[in-house]
Amino acid sequence: MAIETLSPRDVTGTLSYFAGKDAYYYVGEPPAGVPRSNIEENLRPYEVTIHDTRGKEDAFSLDTTGFAFVRLPSEEREFKDEEAIRGGYYKEIEELLKAQTGAKRVFVFDHTVRRPPTPESLADKSYRGPSVGISVTCRSEVGVITYCLHLQRWVHGDQTTQAAIHRVYDHMGADADRLIKGRWRIINVWRPIENPVAHDPLVLGDWRTLNTATDIAPMRLIYPHKVGGTLTVRYSAAHRFHYLSGQTPDEVTLIKCFDSQDGVARLAPHTSFKDKTSPSDAPQRQSIEVRALVFDLE
> Distance (Å, rounded) from C-alpha 267 to C-alpha 291?
13
> Distance (Å, rounded) from C-alpha 123 to C-alpha 222?
27
Q: Domain spans of the chain?
A: 11-295
H or E element, residue 259: strand 251-259
| Phi, psi angle pair for 47, to nearest 5° | -85, 125
Assign 92 to helix, strand or coil: helix
Question: pTM for the full model?
Answer: 0.88
Strand arrangement of the beta sheet that strand 241-243 belongs to: 11-18, 43-52, 241-243, 202-205, 270-272, 156-157, 227-233, 216-222, 23-26
Under the banding of pLDDT at 50, 70 and 90, the label for residue 127 is very low
> Distance (Å, rounded) from C-alpha 62 to C-alpha 265?
7
Question: Does 218 have pLDDT greater than 50?
Answer: yes
| Phi, psi angle pair for 285, to nearest 5° | -70, 140
List strand residue ranges (DSSP E) for 59-117, in order: 67-71, 105-114
pLDDT of residue 225: 86
> Distance (Å, rounded) from C-alpha 140 to C-alpha 207?
35
94-98: average pLDDT: 98
Render 131-173 in DSSP notation, one character per residue.
Answer: -SSEEEEEEETTEEEEEEE--TTB-EES--HHHHHHHHHHHHG
Question: Does 27 have pLDDT greater than 80?
Answer: yes
Q: Do residues 136 and 128 touch, judged by C-beta distance below 8 A? A: no
pLDDT of residue 116: 81
